[in-house]
Structure 1
Amino acid sequence: MSFQLSGSGPDIYERTLVPLWFGRWAEALLAQVSLAPGERVLDVACGTGITTRLAKRAVGDDGHVTGLDNNAGMLAMAHSLAAELDITWVERDAVDTGLPSDSIDALISQHGYHYFPDQAAALAEFHRILVPGGRIAVSIWDGHSVYTKALCAALETHISPRIARKQRAQRQTPSARTLEDSLSAAGFHNVSVVRQELSINVPLAADFVPLHLASMPIAAAFHDLADQNRTALIADVSRALRDYVVGDRMIYPDAVNVLTGLKRHPMASQGDGILPSQV
């Protein structure tokens, strides 16, 4: 599974999904990692860079932030949006960041982990590049929302089961227990998963569904539909979400799991629970 956008996809993603979804989730993620001025931060699967930009503002001029992604189009958009910020943008894979060992104070990743082809290898790489006492914070969808369930059902009816499976995969994520076990197996300690829920406020389906799907890897399949089929697809989503309509908006709950942990300081024993700042 991967998330690759080309053409106008990154621009639509930034203009539509970042203000309505990912900007808010980025703020919630950074609240869990408490970045400090002067720190070195890596944002993995940074996309168009909303979390990266917020991290840079948190660490200030004396800090350094790197945004890493394997999608050239997303990185180009990220670079253009942060021209005034001193951010390094790197096109590489999560399992091979190219960074030195023990060089990063905090590693963050928003909605990228479940796309990594080899999650264990990615976590091992993250552990390698973090300094002793360094911390990781990764946000991952907690399954489907009422909106994405309705959307995928409509895609299956009006396009194909294959396209619906491809879109559903965006939300097929590991359980909280699996996430905890994976991070612990990679050598992290003080591992925890925090569930965050937000009330999502988007335009009505007639306006939002075309914008949303235009910023997805299945955009071409939606655009190739005949007008009547596209209208019917959107109508299905509208009916499914009718109980969530408030005026000219759809307002519905959504949730993520935020996985956090620390790279053990070499002076801390296996069971003492000592935090890096205490060693």
Structure 2
Amino acid sequence: MSRAAARLLARAAAAPAPAPAPPASARAIASAANDATFSFGKAQAQFYDDVLVDGVFKPWTESVFATSRPVTGDAVLDVACGTGVVARECAALVGESGKVTAIDNSPGMLARAKANPASRGIEYLEFDACAPTLPRRAFDRAYCQQGLQFMADPTAAMKAVLSSLKRGGHFTCAVWAPANSSENQIIYHLGEALRDVGREDWVDVAVKPMSWSNTDSRGVSKLEDCLIEAGFINPDVACEDGTFAFDDLTQAVDIAKVGPYGEELASDDALWREFSENFRARLKMYVQEDGRVVVPARSFIGHGVAPWN
């Protein structure tokens, strides 16, 4: 167990696991936390780009790169690439002598990624990360930013990634800490706003992005255990604090359109009006003097190395 895990175990209290929500056939991405599933469609991919890229995923990519940064000439794999945030940052670092391959199982996300002019030269593939068919020993580094918690078997995905890495290659991943009133607060308040408008049945699925674990200590240990079971050497997990930042309250509230039930919320005018008023009131405490909304957040960042033999 890493030093980070030991520290967190000492201070974190155990919490009961959330009750599983029933699967819905229209929602195609399985969660590692329970059986509830959902998909990222075209509309959600657009909201993802408009709401989350600049204030969330770009800044957190720097935290991932602080653990393992691509260098000129690297061949890089981006797993669960979404709209290509990490892939584009990698491409800028590896240069023309390097190569970036990005995979995701969402056509909507991939279409959005390919349409970005900065994606020129990146190979985007619709691909199941858990399928053991990635090219063997082809990559110097691999990344998975906030994708593992949506996979039915994250360890299987890590094994597939490991087989694709060259000897001594690096894998770095990140998953959000639990949604609660002291850590990843915006998703906590999103869930509470859903309860307040009578959509208790949506809450378990709505907090999926933060469903890797129920406590910090469990999340760190689980991520480290997955790295070990997958076969990585020198595994380690760190707990990183940062923020979710938005231009204003309207943009912050729109985070609800990105995740599970986002399309249902946005398409029901009366429900969206009631929900957004509630959610907006909850987020007012995070408004800065310049009108931006900055909410504390926490992520677990894991790293492992492919064996040399």
* TM class by smaller structure: 0.7 to 0.9
CA–CA distance in 2 between the matches of 1:21 and 1:3? 21
Of 269, 281, 289, 1:239 maps to 281
1:91 corresponds in structure 2 to 126
For the aligned residue pairs, the C-alpha RMSD in angstroms reads: 1.9
The letter of the residue matching 1:76 is A
The answer as to 2:236 corresponding to 1:192 is: yes
Counterpart secondary structure, 2:63: helix
Q: 1:173-192: CA deviations, max 9, x gaps? A: 14101111111111111111
CA positional deviation for 1:47: 0.4
The 10-residue stretch of structure 1 (155-164 or 62-71) with the greater mean CA deviation from structure 2: 155-164
The letter of the residue matching 2:266 is H
> TM-score under structure 2 normalisation?
0.80
Look at both structures and tell me which one has the larger radius of gyration over its CA atoms: 1
8 Å contact 2:72–2:98 — kept in the other structure? yes
1:218 corresponds in structure 2 to 261
8 Å contact 2:73–2:96 — kept in the other structure? yes
Of 119, 130, 141, 2:165 maps to 130
Of 158, 167, 178, 2:206 maps to 167
2:304 corresponds in structure 1 to 261
CA–CA distance in 2 between the matches of 1:84 and 1:245? 33
Of 176, 179, 185, 2:220 maps to 176
CA–CA distance in 2 between the matches of 1:93 and 1:230? 33
Matches within 5 A, 1:1-279: 1=31, 2=37, 4-82=39-117, 85-96=120-131, 98-144=133-179, 145-174=184-213, 175-209=219-253, 211-227=254-270, 229-247=271-289, 248-266=291-309
Query: Relative to structure 1, is the Cα distance of residues 11 and 136 closer, same or farther in structure 2, using a 3 angstrom cutoff?
Result: same
CA positional deviation for 1:161: 1.6
Runs of 4+ in 1 over 4 A off after TM superposition: none
8 Å contact 1:205–1:237 — kept in the other structure? no
CA–CA distance in 1 between the matches of 2:267 and 2:110? 27
Query: Relative to structure 1, is the Cα distance of residues 252 and 142 closer, same or farther in structure 2, using a 3 angstrom cutoff?
Result: same
CA–CA distance in 2 between the matches of 1:84 and 1:213? 27
CA positional deviation for 1:207: 4.5
CA positional deviation for 1:234: 2.6
CA–CA distance in 1 between the matches of 2:113 and 2:251? 25
The letter of the residue matching 2:257 is A
CA positional deviation for 1:216: 2.4
The 10-residue stretch of structure 1 (235-244 or 75-84) with the greater mean CA deviation from structure 2: 235-244
Matched residues, number? 264
CA–CA distance in 2 between the matches of 1:76 and 1:259? 28
Counterpart secondary structure, 1:143: coil
CA–CA distance in 2 between the matches of 1:104 and 1:133? 10
8 Å contact 1:156–1:164 — kept in the other structure? yes
Q: Any unmatched runs of 5+ in structure 1?
A: 267-279
> TM-score under structure 1 normalisation?
0.88
The letter of the residue matching 2:227 is L
Counterpart secondary structure, 1:237: helix
Counterpart secondary structure, 1:34: coil
Q: Any unmatched runs of 5+ in structure 2?
A: 1-30, 32-36, 214-218
Percent identical among aligned pairs is: 26
CA–CA distance in 1 between the matches of 2:167 and 2:119? 31
8 Å contact 1:205–1:234 — kept in the other structure? no
CA–CA distance in 2 between the matches of 1:106 and 1:3? 29
8 Å contact 1:44–1:112 — kept in the other structure? yes
The 10-residue stretch of structure 1 (52-61 or 153-162) with the greater mean CA deviation from structure 2: 153-162
Q: 1:99-138: CA deviations, max 9, x gaps? A: 3211111110110011111122111111111111011000
CA positional deviation for 1:83: 6.0
The letter of the residue matching 1:199 is T
CA–CA distance in 2 between the matches of 1:67 and 1:3? 21
